[in-house]
Amino acid sequence: MSVQQDKDNISLEWIKDQLNGFADLIDKTIVTSFGQVDLLYIKSVADSQILSRNVITPFYEMENINAYQNYIMTYPGSEEATTRDKAIELLLSGYILLGLKDTFCFFDAMNTEISGVNETSAESISQGPSDALTEDIAVNMNM
């Protein structure tokens, strides 16, 4: 769930350089009395509600940086990136890169836009359900 920062692995500067042309690349640092966290994400693919509810709010509620790091690293939406390519792939998929002390964590905050289940309008149904498929595979499988 974390990657140690060193010259052979992922660096924040290298990632920012690779994503330099992205107009919606957000680079923020949040600070409290016990520490700081660097956030890097792409606004158009990361869900701002997940970011606020699961990343930023807990940071301000924790009592120390170690507790917050343990929370982030054990959260089910955390992912490990062992290569630079994997780090870029995760960011482009909607993950948030968190720089904690000497560690990077990637937190799943994918923005999933789905429409509701509607009746089919293109084809007439003579027998069976008349529900149309959606963009979400999990919803389709449940139907």
Q: pLDDT tens across 111-127, in order?
A: 766 555 455 555 555 55
Distance of alpha carbon 23 from alpha carbon 107, whole angstroms: 21
Please state, rounded to an integer, the average pLDDT across all residues of the chain. 79
User: Does the structure show a pLDDT above 50 at 76?
Assistant: yes
Distance of alpha carbon 90 from alpha carbon 98, whole angstroms: 12
Residue 105: helix, strand or coil by DSSP? strand
Q: What is the reported pLDDT for 53? A: 94
Task: Identify the weakest region by mean pLDDT among 18-27, 31-40, 75-84, 133-142.
Answer: 133-142
pTM score: 0.72
Helices (H) and strands (E) in the chain, counts: 6, 6
Q: What is the reported pLDDT for 83? A: 85
